[in-house]
Chains A and B, each alone.
Chain A
Amino acid sequence: MRQLCKGNVAVIKGAVLAGCRAYYGYPITPASEIAEAAALYLPEVGGTFIQAESETASINMVYGASAAGVRVMTGSSGPGISLMQEGISYLAGAELPCVIVDVMRGGPGLGNIAPEQSDYFAMVKGGGHGNYRNLVVAPASVQEMAELTILAFELADNYRNPAIVLTDGYVGQMMEPLDLSYREIVAPQKPWAVRGTAGTRKNMVSSIYLESDDLEQHQRRMEAKYIRAQQTETRWEEYLTADADLLVVGFGIVSRILRSAVDEARRQGIKVGLFRPITLWPFPSNELAAAASRTERLLVVELSNGQMLEDVRLALDGKKNIEFYGRVGGNVPSVEELLGKIEEQTAALI
């Protein structure tokens, strides 16, 4: 059934379909509607919503619910996510699945409440302490806010690891048609969970390994699952890349603007294609390298001063010219602005 829906609300609608029945959070612009929708919908379907006293408290409530074996999530924006980083490290270390939504806003510090993509390093590269990775998906539409939240729950449970829905104030706040096909998912049983029953009495959830060898072994096991994720979980989208001389790369809302700019450039006869990573970790490096092998140059566009740019550079290993264009502070480039950048780059090719 189609309905007009806000991106942040679509997150919770997806979560309810995915079998999530617990939300612990603290409101923050531009992510507050996630908590608002969770407070509205979760109790109605027999779930739990608690507004915690802080983000630190909410991520630790997530830890507890996840250890008890239920599908659980939280949502916040940059400053709140910074407070949650310790808990995310603990969740990863204890191999607990959960979904965390980061609706990115301008930073650093309090910054402002307008969209930026500057939490890329914090969520994709880590942010908390220790050797761990987050599984990160980046929606670009309201429909994907629901779909990729469902995917995030699946990934989190498959890998017993926190999964992040990394989006921005633009996608979170905009309203678009949402099609929910009501394919309700039954959350999986988790035999490792601690449920206070006789059957789960011997289970243990912890991230402490005092013996060096034990901790090394634990980390090797985590490494193995991260390698498995890198081999099987990359997702991406290509648009008109087959004959492109210039490849533009962007995720989230930027990919939507780039797509319009690509359409406009094509109308002018400029051969340009779009590559959009959908999973930011694991990053689709091989797929990007394959798409870029057919082009002369790349243009990376972000709402940051060049964070995903580093992963693009690693993927191409110095083999291509990579240009960067970023807007920060909450400014979002227009289609004309990006078309101008595409024209600049293709002019350099001639």
Chain B
Amino acid sequence: MAGQARGKVTIDIEECKGCGLCVESCPPKCLELAPELSAYGVHPARYTGHDCTGCGICFYCCPEPGAIAVYRLAPPPKAVPAVLGGEHAATV
């Protein structure tokens, strides 16, 4: 998806057991299992680096309490005159 990123995911490979539930549940399919093995001998999940919307579904379905963190990224603030002026005037 083009434009400003809306979210990001971090996965702690010390906690991930490689079950793949997050990969299955992710609506934009932005998670995958890494081809390499972790120290526990599993293929841990990882973020592809793009398309995360910050929905948090992977967080909710992960069986491990501390494996996944999801961040919602706020867009940078716009200048006030650009926001309050013309184009929005008739929309609300």
A interface list, Cβ under 8 A from B: 1, 3-6, 9, 13, 16-17, 33, 36-37, 40-41, 43-46, 180, 182, 184
Contact = CB atoms under 8 A, between A and B. Distances in A.
A44 B79 CA distance: 9
A242 B78 CA distance: 49
Give the 4 A-B CB pairs with smallest separation, nearest first. A46-B77, A3-B89, A44-B83, A182-B81
Contact of B92 (A6, A16, A184): A6
Contacts of B89: 3-5
B83 A41 contact: yes
B66 to A, nearest CB: 24
B84 interface: yes
B92 A45 contact: no
Given A1-B85, A37-B92, A46-B76, 12 more contacts: A5-B89, A6-B92, A17-B80, A33-B92, A36-B92, A41-B84, A44-B75, A45-B77, A45-B83, A46-B74, A180-B84, A184-B80
Q: What's the dominant secondary structure at chain B's contact region?
A: loop
Contacts of A40: 88, 91-92
Interface in B41-92: 74-78, 80-81, 83-86, 88-92
A17 B84 contact: yes
Report which residue of B74, B78, B81, B83 has the largest number of chain A beta carbons within 10 angstroms of its beta carbon: B83
Contact of A44 (B78, B86, B91): B78
A45 B86 contact: no
Contacts of B80: 16-17, 45, 182, 184
A43 B74 contact: yes
A121 to B, nearest CB: 32
Interface of B: 74-78, 80-81, 83-86, 88-92
A3 B84 CA distance: 10
A288 to B, nearest CB: 36
A6 B77 CA distance: 24
Contacts of B90: 4
A44 B92 contact: no
Nearest to A37: B92
Nearest to A19: B80
Contacts of A46: 74, 76-77
Q: Count chain A CB atoms within 10 A of each CB in B86, B88, B92 and give the residue with the most.
A: B92
A323 B78 CA distance: 52
B6 to A, nearest CB: 12
6 contacts: A1-B85, A3-B85, A13-B84, A17-B84, A41-B84, A41-B88
A350 B75 CA distance: 69
Contacts of A184: 80
A44 B86 CA distance: 15
A23 to B, nearest CB: 14
Contacts of B81: 1, 182
Contacts of A16: 80, 83-84
A33 B75 CA distance: 24
B80 to A, nearest CB: 5
Contacts of B78: 44-45
Nearest to A184: B80
A9 B77 contact: no
A37 B90 CA distance: 12
Contacts of B85: 1, 3, 180
A44 B83 CA distance: 7
Contacts of A6: 92
A270 B77 CA distance: 56
A20 B86 CA distance: 21
Contacts of B76: 46
- Interface hub of B74, B80, B81, B84 (most chain A Cβ within 10 A): B84
Contacts of A180: 84-85
Contacts of A9: 92
Nearest to B84: A13
Nearest to A13: B84
